[in-house]
Chains A and B, each alone.
Chain A
Amino acid sequence: MAEKVLMKGNEAVAEAAIRAGCRLYFAYPITPQSELIEYMAKMLPKVDGTFVQAESEVAAINMVYGASGTGRRVMTSSSSPGISLKMEGISYIAGANLPAVIINVQRGGPGLGDIQPAQGDYFQATKGGGHGDYRLIVLAPSTVQEFADMADLAFDLADKYRNPVMILSDGLLGQMMEPVEFKPAKTKEEMEKLNKQHYDWCMHPNEDEPDHHHHEINSLEIDPLILEQHVIKLGKKYDKITKNEQRHEEYNISADNKVIVVAFGTAARIAKSAIDQLQEEGINVGMIRPITVWPYPYEAISNVLNDKIKKVVVCELNLGQMIEDVKLAVNGKLPVEFLGKVGGILFTPDEIKAKIMDNRGE
């Protein structure tokens, strides 16, 4: 087993991305993700990788578009206001069926907001953000270890589906240090294989006649009938992802649960400690933690509902965004309550405990 190291989330995910074969990274500095860009600036040259500090987040995501068009593993990262700027490029990447990994170390918004942890970009990440009918695969880590592990997963999913993948983290996970164990780095042979995996469609050196290829990286289809087919095909891909890639964690689910908590990311780790404390007091509260927030694990939530459960409590670091998906999953069968914190402020386990106790109906 690899040795555990104490590392910030921002650095751990950067290291994990390099190990996963990422040799191209383009970004612009922004708090609270700057350690990520700094780590890449320092480490990529040591593995013959390429780091470019772009003139803007807009430029960075378009560099990602270009690099991804050559079939190579490429990543960018930012925090909320910068992710908004990347939305144009993300739509093009999705439209052109390109794999790419985008990390959002969320902070408080809207506008310039603040630089503390928040989950206010849930809608942007899971419901669109950019223009057009497209989907991002969105992974939501809740520990530094999981944040790091998701780099590998994100690249694999991106390559498998030729689709952009976002890791939806936040300032807390980016800034905090926790012990991390890394997977071994890709070997030279694995890298060679990775670099050629997309040769059937990507831009790469041509052979002489008669094998000359003309590969187009493109999201433009001016003929409505052709665009229609293109978007329908994208939709089929999203259906496949929805079917195959839902991930969630069940915590303390038991027959005597009267309340089920649903939370993701940092909110989920705080909720866990409230649940642990209640368990010590003899009260069993279950939790579903969506790991993919798109595709959303609707069935995982509806499957745990039973007659004994009185309420579902959603905890988020926003005004209530994921709660809409939870309501879809619950489908009117039970009341869905909400506990939120905004402004980059975290709730305490005590606040979650109090919310749960209020809703046990005793």
Chain B
Amino acid sequence: MEIIAQRPKSLTDLQFTYCPGCTHGISHRIIAEAIDELEMRNQMMGVAPVGCSVFAYKFFDCDMAEAAHGRAPAVATGMKRARPDMHVFTYQGDGDLAAIGTAEIIHAANRGEHISVFFVNNAIYGMTGGQMAPTTLPGMKTTTSPYGRDETDIGYPIQACELLNSLRAPYFIERVSLLSPQDILKATKIVKKALQFNKEERGFTFVEFVSTCPTNWGLAPLEAMKWAKENMLPYFPLGNFRDKSIEGGE
């Protein structure tokens, strides 16, 4: 019998615990597929964050460490420095990476650590029940911004790619989305590219996924995707910010 599709080897056979319509499952899968295709699994170590994807350490079938909230890039630094013969990635949400872990991500990027960071931006704190994230859009209502995010009071959403792009060391920075099949295909290519660079020890690679949170946004999955396209993409434009592998990519 011909196998057309199957679970990537780099995912365990545990069932995902994510909400219906959540895009974490997609980003997990495309990362796992890329690890398989690049034959990196036997030398791969991942770092899971605190947030909805806290159980990522159970889902990826390679060696995994669970980090304290925001500290994944520091933990990954320790892992990569201890085992330079292995590959390391972190998987982090917006609260984890762009709020509590701001120092760790900036400095890991600034040192040009040879790790890949996968950043899931859905503009909200999911696990704790829909509070305001550093990436919550202006005017957007959450449980801790019940009258809408007031940027004159609490500041504007943080654009992680743009922020990291001000540093010299990062090798590859790109923002993709998981908002349509075409976008997912594009994201698959970019994830594979980042991990290819990781395998080749080129330097720090960063991929941001513009994602959704139907549950906490209070929208059906397809509506959530539509909402994200209309509201998030203008603020978080897709595209490559840095690619040192091509001329003028810096």
Contacts and interface: CB of A to CB of B under 8 A. Distances in A.
Chains A and B share a contact (CB less than 8 Å) = yes
A65 B67 contact: yes
Nearest to B41: A206
Contact of B75 (A55, A62, A206, A213): A62
Nearest to A55: B107
B71 A62 contact: yes
A273 interface: no
Interface string A60-96: 1011111111101010000000000000110010001
B132 interface: no
Contacts of A213: 63
Contact of B107 (A50, A59, A96, A215): A59
Size class of the B contact interface (CB-based, 8 Å): 35 or more
A203 B83 contact: yes
Contact of B79 (A60, A88, A96, A203): A203
A222 to B, nearest CB: 8
Contacts of B79: 66-67, 69-70, 203
A59 B62 contact: no
A54 B74 contact: yes
B57 A218 contact: yes
Given A59-B74, A62-B74, A205-B42, A214 B81 contact: no
Contacts of B45: 70, 203
Dominant secondary structure of chain B at its interface with chain A: helix
B63 A206 contact: yes
A55 B66 contact: no
B216 interface: no
Given A55-B107, A70-B82, A63 B77 contact: yes
Interface string A203-220: 111111000111111111
B81 A52 contact: yes
A72 B82 contact: yes
A206 B46 CA distance: 13
Interface of A: 24, 26, 50, 52, 54-56, 58-60, 62-70, 72, 74, 88-89, 92, 96, 203-208, 212-220
Interface of B: 12, 41-45, 47, 54, 57-58, 61-68, 71, 74-83, 85-86, 103-104, 106-107, 111
